[in-house]
Amino acid sequence: MNPTELPAEPVSFPDIAASFMLDGPAGKLEAISDVAERADARRGVAVICHPNPVQGGTMHNKVVTMLERALRESGLDTLRFNFRGTGASAGSYDDGNGESEDLAAVVAWLRRVRPGDALWLAGFSFGSYVTIRNAVRLEADALVSIAPPVGRWSMGDDVLPGCPWLMVMGEADEVVEPQAVFDWIEAMDKPPELIRMPETGHFFHRRLMDLRGAVKHAIADWLPPART
């Protein structure tokens, strides 16, 4: 089902799947929100970030949309957005720095319209880099990282998240070196929960449903209370 297009920045979180523009530091940011089924709804919203726009990444990426589905089916409302210079979002690519400010602007709007809700951050590839480096600053309540690009960007080891953190990594990733990710985790004082997926490449071809199930199972005990 296509999201309903709203004419302006919402003053409340839409109660149906909706597309709209949010104010960002470099201009408008294109966003899509969706809501969990009422019977499953929890008091939390997940913001999901997409892979590198220079390489064609958008909020419509298949891994991003499957991650969104897994989180929504777990009871979280969801919000995806295009980083600056992607899709209808204004601005231009800024190597993760401006994109961090885009994420901060989206989170600021979310806190205005959903005060008191748990904030979950999730991302795939470049999107996981942006969420990892900003999780502490934005006071995330949980973090989900899919194929983080270790070795391509500095992951901010001095301010690593202390919240519940799930990481999913394909053992046959052809873009990110899997062993670099495993070594990075091994060196952490408080490592994330790691799911290693055998025979799985960077884009989870033919493994997207497995990814969905793995995420839903792993985060079940972290979910916020039911929305009343």
Strands 142-146 and 165-170: parallel
As a whole number of angstroms, the distance between CA 127 and CA 181 comes to: 15
Tokens of 175: 């873009």
For 153, the domain range is 4-220
- Classify residue 62: in a domain, yes or no: yes
Residue in 99, 139, 98 with CA at minimum distance from that of residue 116: 139
Q: What number is the average pLDDT over the span 192-208?
A: 97
Helix (H, G, I), strand (E, B) or coil at 23: strand
- Classify residue 160: in a domain, yes or no: yes
- What's residue 212's pLDDT? 98
Tell me: pLDDT of 1 over 70: no
pLDDT in tens, 88-141: 999 999 999 999 999 999 999 999 999 999 999 999 999 999 999 999 999 999
- What's residue 109's pLDDT? 98
Torsional sign, CA 37, 105, 120, 208: positive
- Classify residue 225: in a domain, yes or no: no
- What's residue 7's pLDDT? 85
Can you list the positions of beta strands (E) in the chain?
4-5, 18-24, 27-34, 44-49, 77-81, 118-124, 142-146, 165-170, 193-197
As a whole number of angstroms, the distance between CA 30 and CA 87 comes to: 7
Q: What number is the average pLDDT over the span 188-211?
A: 96
The residues, ordered by sequence, that sit 6+ positions from 212 with a Cβ below 8 Å of its Cβ are 66, 67, 69, 70, 73
Q: Looking at the chain, how many residues does it have?
A: 228
Structural domains of the chain, count: 1
- What are the backbone angles phi and psi of residue 29, rounded to the nearest 5°? -120, 130
As a whole number of angstroms, the distance between CA 27 and CA 9 comes to: 12
- Classify residue 149: in a domain, yes or no: yes
Phi-psi region of 78 (alpha: psi -120 to 50; beta: other; left: phi over 0): beta
Q: What number is the average pLDDT over the span 202-222?
A: 98
- Classify residue 227: in a domain, yes or no: no
Domain of 80: which CATH number?
Answer: 3.40.50.1820
- Classify residue 188: in a domain, yes or no: yes
- What's residue 33's pLDDT? 98
The residues, ordered by sequence, that sit 6+ positions from 103 with a Cβ below 8 Å of its Cβ are 47, 49, 121, 130, 131, 134, 138
- Classify residue 91: in a domain, yes or no: yes
pLDDT in tens, 145-177: 999 999 888 887 777 899 999 999 999 999 999
- Classify residue 87: in a domain, yes or no: yes
Q: What number is the average pLDDT over the span 207-216?
A: 98
